[in-house]
Chains A and B, each alone.
Chain A
């Protein structure tokens, strides 16, 4: 039985196959409307989420399956002190596949060790978010026509931004990738990412503090939100939250074919005026998230058209 806990759980070839399937689904999703008839997805969300949970549910409903689950820890037996291991053992009898979001890092890995059904990591603390990465890869490939030979700018909270960590691990497997990391010193990528993904694999990278100085070089600008929920200290959050705001003025020096991605939700980091810019890809990215999750559910359940 396969799970998706870490973005590298799938080989590069498996990821490309999955993206091919997601592209096909995007072209005509109604052809896939019966693939999961009779199957159930459990969404175990111990932390609030709009996009990820709804896109998982939309994905399963699009495939003809059904969904059950909870959307906060308060409405689950976790509030009574039940362990992740016990919860997943019980849920394994109720559903065919499960997507889990948890504020604590490693919770989906724990679940996968006790589950009798495939477990998908839908985000664990500041650690990993592999299905967002699949969404990002699909969007980058659709927009740029490739996943190699790209200069990727990552901007904002690179320390706690799990989507960034997962994306870097995945893109590092493609040729000709270069990262430019734009963040205040306090929010730079964790050492384990810098050591293992960048230095360990010889990926060229630069760390800067302003986006203006690197904007002309970028093929992709990946914006992130500074997340209040990741800070133990409110003062630090207040000080750092508006460090970067992308607006039309800053985009003037960007390539015409650059794409702006954001895992959403955004707060202030992308001005509303950027939404109409053809380089803005973040709403398209959110849409792609449904297709790629449809492809993922099919793969983990071993289902084909």
Chain B
């Protein structure tokens, strides 16, 4: 198995659905960081068979809210001095800003490209859904 050194200080994002790590990488804006980031694809998982893992070295204060939108199975460990000091509980964010795009051709965002793409979390009969704040169209995960 590929060996990535354990972290002294940083964040381990574990149990990412196999193949989804690059989406997480982009949504968290990790490409804009100067620190060392490792994305491990298709690691063995006793729970899921295969999983992806992301390790971020040196920083612990990244806004991780969007992970709650992507997949609630993802786990996040904050590491300091080589030890797990916090296991973050992922909560779906109330709003998603410029994370996904509204695909409704009747939505104002379809013609005014400068507008922020904002989706709000709604809970209907125990089901969570994100809806565009402008046209109220539900975000479907098959959308881009």
Partners in one complex: yes
Q: List A residues 11-70 near B (Cβ within 8 Å).
A: none
A196 vs B128: C-alpha distance when bound (angstroms): 11
Q: Are A104 and B111 in contact (CB under 8 A)?
A: yes
The verdict on A184 contacting chain B, using a C-beta distance below 8 Å, is: no
Of B110, B124, B134, B136, which is within 8 A of A200 by CB?
Answer: B124
A110-B108 contact in complex given A127-B135, A192-B131, A192-B138, C-beta closer than 8 Å: yes
Asked if B7 is at the interface of the complex by the 8 Å CB criterion, the answer is no
A117-129 CB mask vs B (1 if < 8 Å, else 0) is 0000000111100
Cα–Cα, bound, A84→B114 (Å) = 11
* Residues B112 and A105 in contact, CB atoms below 8 Å apart: no
Inter-chain contacts of B114 with A (CB < 8 A): 83
Q: Which of chain B's residues have a CB closer than 8 A to the CB of A106? A: 107-109, 132-135
Q: Which of B125, B132, B135 touches A199 (beta carbons < 8 Å)?
A: B125
The answer to the question of A158 belonging to the interface, with a C-beta cut-off of 8 Å to chain B, is no
Let me know if A191 is at the binding interface, CB within 8 A: yes
> Is the CB–CB distance between B134 and A109 below 8 Å?
yes
Q: Give Cα distance in the complex from A232 to B137, angstroms.
A: 18
Main secondary structure of the interface of B (DSSP, over half): loop
| In contact, B138 and A104 (Cβ under 8 angstroms) | no
User: B104 an interface residue at 8 Å Cβ cutoff?
Assistant: yes
Quick check: is A107 within 8 A (CB to CB) of the other chain?
yes
Residue of B nearest to A192 (CB): B136
Interface string of A63-84 (1 = CB under 8 A from B): 0000000000000000000011
If the complex has contacts A83-B112, A84-B112, A196-B122, are A104 and B137 also in contact, measured as CB distance less than 8 A? no
Smallest CB separation, B128 vs chain A (Å)? 12
A199-B112 Cα distance, complex, nearest whole Å = 33
Q: Is B4 an interface residue (CB 8 A)?
A: no
- Given A110-B112, A192-B136, are A199 and B124 neighbors across the interface (CB < 8 Å)? yes
Interface size on A, residues (CB 8 A): 22
Which A residues are in CB contact (< 8 Å) with B138?
191-192
User: Is A262 part of the contact surface with B, judged by Cβ < 8 Å?
Assistant: no
Residues of A within 8 A of B124 (CB): 195-196, 199-200
Interface residues of A in 75-106 (CB under 8 A from B): 83-85, 102-106
Asked whether B85 is an interface residue with its Cβ less than 8 Å from the other chain, the reply is no
Q: Is the CB of B104 within 8 A of A105?
A: yes
Residues from chain B with a CB closer than 8 A to the CB of A200 are: 124-125
Q: Which residues of A contact B132 (CB under 8 A)?
A: 106
- Contact residues on B (Cβ < 8 Å of other chain), bracket: 20 to 34
What is the CB-to-nearest-CB distance from B53 to chain A, in angstroms, rounded to a whole number? 36
Q: How far is the CA of A214 from the CA of B111 in the complex (A)?
A: 41
Q: Most chain-A CB neighbours within 10 Å: which of B108, B110, B111?
A: B108
Residue of A nearest to B111 (CB): A104
A192 CA / B127 CA spacing, docked (Å): 12
CB 8 Å contact bits of B3-45 with A (1 = contact, 0 = none)? 0000000000000000000000000000000000000000000
Q: Provide the residues of chain B in CB contact with A103, threshold 8 Å.
A: 106
CB-defined contacts of B134 to chain A, threshold 8 Å: 105-107, 109-110
Cα–Cα distance between A105 and B136 once the two chains are bound (Å): 9
Closest chain A CB from B119 CB (angstroms): 12
Which of A126, A192, A195 is close to B106, meaning CB atoms less than 8 Å apart? A126
Q: Is B115 an interface residue (CB 8 A)?
A: yes
For the complex of A and B, 3 pairs with smallest distance between CB atoms: A106-B134, A105-B135, A104-B108
Sample of 28 A–B contacts (CB below 8 Å): A83-B114, A84-B112, A85-B112, A104-B107, A104-B112, A105-B104, A105-B106, A105-B135, A106-B109, A106-B133, A106-B134, A106-B135, A107-B108, A107-B134, A109-B108, A109-B134, A110-B108, A110-B112, A110-B115, A124-B108, A125-B135, A126-B106, A191-B138, A192-B136, A195-B127, A199-B125, A200-B125, A232-B105
Using a CB–CB cutoff of 8 Å, the interface residues on chain B facing chain A are 104-112, 114-115, 122, 124-125, 127, 129, 131-138
A interface residues, Cβ below 8 angstroms from B: 83-85, 102-107, 109-110, 124-127, 191-192, 195-196, 199-200, 232
| Interface contacts beyond A125-B107, A192-B136, A192-B138: sample of 4 additional A-B pairs, CB < 8 Å, sorted by A | A104-B111, A105-B108, A126-B106, A127-B136
